[in-house]
Amino acid sequence: MHKKFNRIVRYFTNLLIDMMNKKVIWVPVVLIPVWVFIYHNLQNFTDWFIDRILQLEKGKHITEALRFFVFEFPKVLLLLTLIIFVVGIIRTFFTPERTRKALEGKRTFTGNVMAATLGIITPFCSCSAIPLFLGFIESGVPLGVTFSFLISAPMINEVAIILLYGLFGWKVAAIYIGTGLVIAIFSGWLIGLLKREKWVEPWVYQAHFGNKEVVEEKLNFAKRINLGIEAVKEIVGKVWLFVGLGIVVGAGVHGYVPQEFMASLMGKSVWYSVPLSVLIGIPLYSNAAGIVPIVSVLIEKGVSLGTALAFMMSVIGLSLPEMIILRKVLTMPLIVTFIGIVGTGILIVGYLFNYIF
Amino acid sequence: MEIKVLGTGCSKCKALEKLTRDAVAELGIQAEIEKVEDIYKIMSFGVMSTPALVINQKIVVSGRVPSVSEIKDLVTKNQ
């Protein structure tokens, strides 16, 4: 019985390895049903593991904390893997070069809406913020439209969305995307209206780099799938530890820190909680993977939704390291204006959601 | 042949430089590898996402770090 089982497992493992070597297209076809099966049985498995195998006492603090972790951690990892894979493939169609082409010469509002939306899906890493900024400006994308892109790209990303969905449900995720987009669109639009091109470092507009012919890589479908797999390896490989730590903290404080303490500090009734959390968030720098589990702990401990969202947006949208990078191309007054406008947007969102919920 | 790694000094750019050197060493060919960190020079290639790999003045990869075997392929193809 045991030998037979081993042989079957080995057969399928070999088959899988073979497929990966030959035709990468089969990987998702085989793995997606496995994914669906695990995802749907996770709660049952968790209960079986906690109650039957470990035989822990139900309802006890440590039991429920463990149950929380055994269920949440694989769930979030499964969601991350699938969505990053899909987004990784979609992104191969949206290169920065194509986004720039789409935004060239677009004026005011339409351009801002497009830039903020494309910011979600175009691959972006804060280390290439400068080449991207220069490339956009040089080919005639208006300053305000460029800003809409630069605000939305880091703030609204797939990792943030999946984690919010996984830990809070789709409503909070949708609220985050919606308000993030509104902030990116209006902040960029306002910066455009102010006509502060003179606050960009002078060399930016004098420079003419020429050579705009970018040879694009030719990609077939197998290669796109490969890039999706690469994205999963890279991003999940980088964030799983943060996600795990965040969920451990979340499971641990489950019931330990008194709710009243945090609620009295950053609850709904405290008027200064929103500006305070935005101010604390600016010097803090973290990616979405690190901040969302912390936000979930804050909310559980009585911090209101608006305050927690404002904190999260401030940490990932207004980061000091990115400002330092942007200082190479922007003068101080423009950076201060940028922080001021985006910060005000986040404040409004924070107060709005504290008021509604 | 002339190989350039374009990047402003982020961790991915360093990774690409290292992998490129490995790939060239494995192929055992003569190639001049240069790391370009100056933003002006990077922009003159028309690249917007770093890191990027340029072989004989032609951009072959931008915005990602390919594997050693892929770099070897690219180097052989663009010799």
The predicted model gives A185-208 an average pLDDT of: 84
Q: A323: which residues sit within 8 A by CB, 6+ positions away? A: A335, A339
Whether residue B48 and residue A127 make contact (CB cut-off 8 A), yes or no, is no
Q: Give me the pLDDT at residue A15, please.
A: 63
What was the pLDDT predicted at A116?
A: 93
Q: Average pLDDT for residues A109-115, to the nearest whole number?
A: 92
3-state secondary structure of B79: coil
Give residue A50's pLDDT band: very low, low, confident or very high (50, 70, 90): confident
Listed in sequence order, the residues at least 6 apart from B9 whose beta carbon sits closer than 8 Å to its beta carbon are: A127, B37
A96 to chain B, any CB pair closer than 8 A? The answer is yes
Q: What percent of chain A has pLDDT over 70?
A: 88
In a mutational test of the A interface, the residue from B47, B48, B68, B73 whose CB has the highest number of chain A CBs within 10 Å is: B48
Distances (CA, A) of A23 to A162, A227, B67, B68, B73: 29, 14, 18, 20, 19
Closest by alpha carbon to A207, among A334, A329, A323, A338? A329
| Nearest CA-CA partner of A159 in A43, A255, A246, A264 | A246
Least confident range of A30-39, A123-132, A166-175, B55-64? A123-132
- Mean pLDDT over the full length of chain A: 82
| pLDDT, average across residues A85-105 | 85
Residue A256: its pLDDT value, please?
A: 59
pLDDT-based confidence at A6, cuts 50/70/90?
confident
Answer whether residue A221 shows pLDDT above 80. no
Report pTM: 0.80
Q: Do A96 and B63 touch (CB under 8 A)?
A: yes
Q: Which residue has the higher pLDDT, A185 or A60?
A: A185
DSSP characters for A55-112? -PPTT-HHHHHHHHHHHHHHHHHHHHHHHHHHHHHHHTT--HHHHHHHHTT--HHHHH
Distance CA B53, CA B68 (A): 13
State pLDDT tens for residues A287-341.
Answer: 677 778 778 778 877 788 889 889 888 988 888 878 888 888 889 999 999 999 9
Backbone angles phi, psi at A331, to 5 degrees: -80, 165
A269: helix, strand or coil: coil
Burial of A21 (0-12, 13-18, 19+ CB in 10 A): exposed
CA distance A100 to A141: 7
Closest CA to A125 of B44, B17, B19, B13: B13
CB B5 within 8 A of CB B17: yes
pLDDT of residue A254: 60
Of the candidates B12, B46, B64, the beta carbon closest to that of A209 is on B46
Q: How far is CA B64 from CA A94, A120, A127, B45, in A?
A: 14, 18, 12, 16
Q: Which of B11, B49, B59 sits opposite A132 (nearest CB)?
A: B49
Quickly state the pLDDT bin for A215 (edges 50, 70, 90). low
A 188-247: CB under 8 A from B: 207, 209-215, 217, 227, 230
For residue B49, give the nearest of A128, A209, A227 by CB distance.
A128
B78 DSSP 8-state letter: T
Instruction: Identify the pLDDT of residue A255.
Output: 55
Specify the pLDDT at position A204: 77
Per-residue pLDDT, A346: 93
* Contact at CB, B39 and A328, closer than 8 angstroms: yes
Q: Is the ipTM of this complex over 0.95?
A: no
> How near does any CA of chain A get to the CA of B15, in Å?
13
Instruction: Name chain B contacts of A134, Cβ cutoff 8 Å.
Output: 39, 43
Mean pLDDT of the region A258-271? 68
Query: Residue A24 above 70 pLDDT?
Result: no
Residues in chain B: 79
Residues in A closer than 8 angstroms to B49, CB to CB, are: 95-96, 123, 125, 128, 131-132
Q: Is the pLDDT of residue A184 over 90?
A: yes
